[in-house]
Amino acid sequence: MDIIPQLILESLLLGAFYAFMSLGFSLTWGVLNIINLAYGSYILLGSYLAYSLYTYLGIDPILSLPVSFGAGFLLGLLTQRVLIDRVMRLEPFMVLILTFGLDIFLANLLNLVFRADVRSIDVPYAERSFILGPLVVTEVKVAVFLLSLVLTGSVYLLLQRTWTGRSIRAVALDREGAQIVGISPTRVFLITSGLGTGIALSSGNLYGVLQGFTPFDGGMLTVKAFLVSIVGGLGRVESALAGGLFLGFLEVFTAFYLGEGWKFFASLIAMFLFLLLRPRGLLGGKYYGET
């Protein structure tokens, strides 16, 4: 039997999740011009939060999505106020170092609380699947796929239809211009950071349902979010979808044809080549500031 349709299905399902997962990273990069190396650890914070709520209180990780989003939003506000705001005027690589420090801190904090064992959120419907023509469809993957699309769509509507969204986009395109029409960049940065971190933590719920995780998976997740952001170009929902699908296909096909071991290498080399050859992404999305 031909395996290709199955691989395509898996890529699509995974791709939509990656699009949503990376949206927060892409947004904070596009709007604040900040590459947040702690982003992967934010996702894991969400996974562990959902894990705890499920294990100790029996709350389904899908129902606790708003909790993760709320917690993330607050965390985003806090880090923006206390940390990022203070270093945004310095050399951009200082922010890299700062967020790397934050990443080390969070990973070790999770390790202290939950230890390094692989955890997973074993919802009862995790193993269910059905046959659709030549395809085997795992229910939980479909659920994550649909939720990712809905959530990505909501972020899109938020950015396009609300005044908050419009001011975020205005600051992303032209910081000084936005200031002239009376938008406070500092406030927009704060909201964007909250939104971005909220997205990270809530995507952690879905990640935890999809697969097992340890406190030290953050770096790998950050790389994924980075690749998704750079493939499409920054700060736009359409671009994140394109990037998410790219990563989905890349991972599924690399894992099948070359082996699991080459999966992360493929992402990294793609990231390296994109930065080197097409730093503006395939869709030519706008970068803040420099060339």
Partner 1 sequence: MGRPERILLVLLLVLLIFPPLLTQYWERVLTSALMISSLALAQNILLGYTGYPAFGCIAFFGIGGYTTAVLMKNYGMPFWVSLPAGALFAALLALIIAPPLMRLKSHYFAITTLALQLALGEFVANLEFTGGAQGINLPIYRGPGGYLVFFYMFWALTLFSFLLNAYIDKSTFGYALKAIREDEVAAETLGVNTVIFKSISFSVMALITGFAGGIYAYWITYIDPTSMFDPLLSVKVFVALLIGGLGTVGGPLVGAFLLEILSEVLWGQFPKVHGLILGLLIVLIVLIIPSGIWRR
CB contact set of 41 (below 8 Å; sequence gap of 6+): 102, 103, 106, 107, 110, 218, 222
- Residue 106 in the binding site for partner 1 (CB under 8 A): yes
Q: How many residues bind partner 1 (CB under 8 A)?
A: 41
Residue 290: strand, helix, or coil: coil
Q: Which stretch binds partner 1 (CB under 8 A): 3-11, 80-88, 168-176, 183-191?
A: 80-88
Q: How many residues does the chain have?
A: 291
Are 81 and 190 in contact by the 8 Å Cβ rule? The answer is yes
Q: Which stretch binds partner 1 (CB under 8 A): 19-27, 90-98, 155-163, 203-211?
A: 90-98
Give the residue with the Cβ less far from partner 1, 105 or 125: 105
Are 217 and 44 in contact by the 8 Å Cβ rule? The answer is yes
Q: Which stretch binds partner 1 (CB under 8 A): 45-53, 146-154, 183-191, 265-273?
A: 265-273
One-character DSSP codes across 61-105: TTTTHHHHHHHHHHHHHHHIIIIIHHHTTS-HHHHHHHHHHHHHH
- Please give the helix or strand (H or E) that residue 245 lies within, else none: helix 237-257
- Residue 116 in the binding site for partner 1 (CB under 8 A): no
Q: Which stretch binds partner 1 (CB under 8 A): 2-10, 135-143, 145-153, 259-267?
A: 259-267
Which of 108, 154, 162, 184 contacts partner 1 by CB under 8 A?
108
- Residue 88 in the binding site for partner 1 (CB under 8 A): no
**224 HSE (CA, 13 A, CB side):** 30
Give the residue with the Cβ less far from partner 1, 31 or 53: 31
Tell me how far, at minimum, the Cβ of 160 lies from partner 1, in Å.
28
Are 252 and 232 in contact by the 8 Å Cβ rule? The answer is no
- Residue 125 in the binding site for partner 1 (CB under 8 A): no
| Cα end-to-end span (Å), the chain | 48
- Residue 279 in the binding site for partner 1 (CB under 8 A): yes
Tell me the residue type at 151: L
Which of 93, 163, 176, 257 contacts partner 1 by CB under 8 A?
93
Give the residue with the Cβ less far from partner 1, 10 or 103: 103
- Residue 117 in the binding site for partner 1 (CB under 8 A): no
Q: Which residue has the tokens 């909501």?
A: 154
Give the residue with the Cβ less far from partner 1, 125 or 265: 265
Which of 8, 74, 96, 282 contacts partner 1 by CB under 8 A?
96
What letters, b where the CB count within 10 A reaches 16 and e where it falls short, cover 277-289? eeeebeeebebbe
Taking CA atoms, 129 is separated from 9, 125, 206, 291, in Å, by: 14, 9, 17, 48
Tell me how far, at minimum, the Cβ of 271 lies from partner 1, in Å.
5
- Residue 219 in the binding site for partner 1 (CB under 8 A): yes
Q: Which stretch binds partner 1 (CB under 8 A): 69-77, 84-92, 131-139, 200-208?
A: 84-92
- Residue 217 in the binding site for partner 1 (CB under 8 A): no
d(CA 138, CA 209): 12
Q: Which residues bind partner 1 (CB under 8 A)?
A: 35, 83, 86-87, 90-98, 100-109, 111-112, 219, 223, 226, 261-262, 264-265, 268-269, 271-272, 275-276, 279, 290-291
